[in-house]
Amino acid sequence: MAVHVALTGATGFLGLRLLRRLLDTHRSVTVLAHAGSGDALHRIVRFFELTGSAPAFTDALPERLRVVETDLAQPRLGLPERAFHELADTIGALWHSAGSINLEEDLPELRRTNVEGTRHVLELAAAGRLRPRVHHVSTAFVAGARRDGVAYEDELDDACGFENAYERSKYEAELLVHDWSRTHGRPVVVLRPSILVTDLPPHPELPSHPLQVIERILREARGSTGAGGQRAGAPDIRPRVRMVGHPHGRLNLLQVEHAAEVMVRLAARPPSSGVDTYHVVHDRDVPVTTLVDVLQRLVPLSVELVASRPGAPTALEALLDFYPGTTAYLAHRRRFDDTRVRALLGASATSAPVGADYLRAGLAPRARTVPVPPGGAAAPRSVRCA
């Protein structure tokens, strides 16, 4: 018997790719869209048009997608009781990928979206007569503020604290998932992606990927301090900005299309009786210095990695202090263990390298890039571990 699948977050950066993979194996999908956020079906169709899907595929989407407007922050997803139970009884598999990834948001708001949203999605799963399998998209960054060593899939604790409220909210959401699984005796698959990226150039009708936040912060901070553009032919004199980072720092960046493929394949495997957690990550980290060089090609700044926050910050550096949740990752050196994923999927779990050209393509049109300053990013003299 065909299993009907429902997906939250289908108009998001990852959700759109998950939807594409799910439509490869399911005749139809129920999209649980945020009420009042606009025409979800139109945005989905437009995404597939802009990313080169065949007209036959996009033309069929209105018949293959059922859109239900919901409010994840409300009990019963904001639906009348009868409509809630009717929806629950149609679902055989439930994917929860919706949530806020705003690293600068305050904790109460993130809890409302990421924690209470997860609670109400689990209520939907519990109410369904088909006992749907639950697939919960978390993040590898529930590992928290530990900046070196190895983060394992079975770890879930707050011993090291968190870099920002986003990480804490996703950690608390995972705790809910574990409690729900124990209480109901139901399996759940938890998928923890790292930082997801793409080489698709930015477009106003496409969702932006997480690293675009850093580029935007630098660009807006530079503009707000009056450090405008240079005259044609003028020497390359850039404002210097000191950012806390480690000379051997590294970030795990994974192509979003590959992440969606791996997630759907993992979810198709027979579950255990409890919570199966998988790190969906790249097998090769990207040096922080590579990311800094990319940013310097996009924003006319000279970035210097330093060991600690400057004691007398410039006006530009003071503005960047408003975004500590984002810049903290430049000091990370830890590795995410994904032995379980590679044991199950083998060589097919390996993705292509993520290099500077790939990152530049996804952050801005090439016409916006500028020459990299001589010497690239300056390394700090010493770094203390958090």
**Mean model confidence pLDDT for the chain:** 89
- Report whether pLDDT(366) > 60: no
Whether 97 maps to a domain, the answer reads yes
Task: Render pLDDT for 294-331 as a digit per residue (tens, 0 to 9).
Answer: 988 888 888 899 988 888 888 888 877 666 667 788 99
274: CATH? 3.40.50.720
Same domain (yes/no): 145, 188: yes
181 and 306 share one domain? no
Do 73 and 60 belong together in one domain?
yes
The whole-number pLDDT of residue 209 equals 83
Q: Residues 24, 130: one domain? A: yes
Residues 265 and 214 in one domain: no
134 within a domain of the structure (yes/no): yes
Of the listed ranges 56-60, 154-158, 241-245, 361-365, the least confidently predicted one is 361-365
Cβ distance 160 to 107 under 8 Å? no
Is residue 107 pLDDT above 70, yes or no? Answer: yes
Helices (H), the chain: 13-25, 40-50, 55-64, 81-88, 107-110, 116-127, 165-184, 211-224, 256-267, 288-298, 315-320, 324-327, 339-345, 356-363
Same-domain pairing of 177 and 29: yes
39 and 133, same structural domain?
A: yes
Mean pLDDT for 187-203 is 95
Does 34 lie in the same domain as 173? yes
What pLDDT is stored for residue 368 in this prediction? 42
- Is 128 found in the same domain as 260? yes
The answer to whether position 384 is within a domain reads no
What is the average per-residue pLDDT within 347-367?
86
On whether residue 74 sits in a domain, the answer given is yes
Instruction: Let me know whether 94 and 231 are in one domain.
Output: no
pLDDT of residue 215: 81
H runs (alpha helix) in 206-352: 211-224, 256-267, 288-298, 315-320, 324-327, 339-345
Is residue 312 one of the residues assigned to a domain?
Answer: yes
Tell whether 214 is covered by a domain. Answer: yes
pLDDT digits (tens, 9 = 90+) for 199-254: 999 898 999 888 887 888 777 777 766 655 544 454 557 888 888 899 899 999 99
Q: What is the pLDDT of residue 369?
A: 39
pLDDT of residue 383: 33
Share above pLDDT 90 across residues of the chain, in percent, rounded to a whole number: 70
In a domain, 143, yes or no: yes
> What's phi and psi for 318, nearest 5 deg?
-65, -40
- Do 242 and 167 share a structural domain? no
Q: Say how many domains are in the chain.
A: 2
Question: Which pLDDT score is estimated for 314?
Answer: 87
Domain span including residue 293: 197-251+285-333+352-368
Q: Does residue 57 sit in the same domain as residue 136?
A: yes
Residue 265 counted as domain residue: yes
State the amino acid at position 50 in one-letter form.
Answer: L
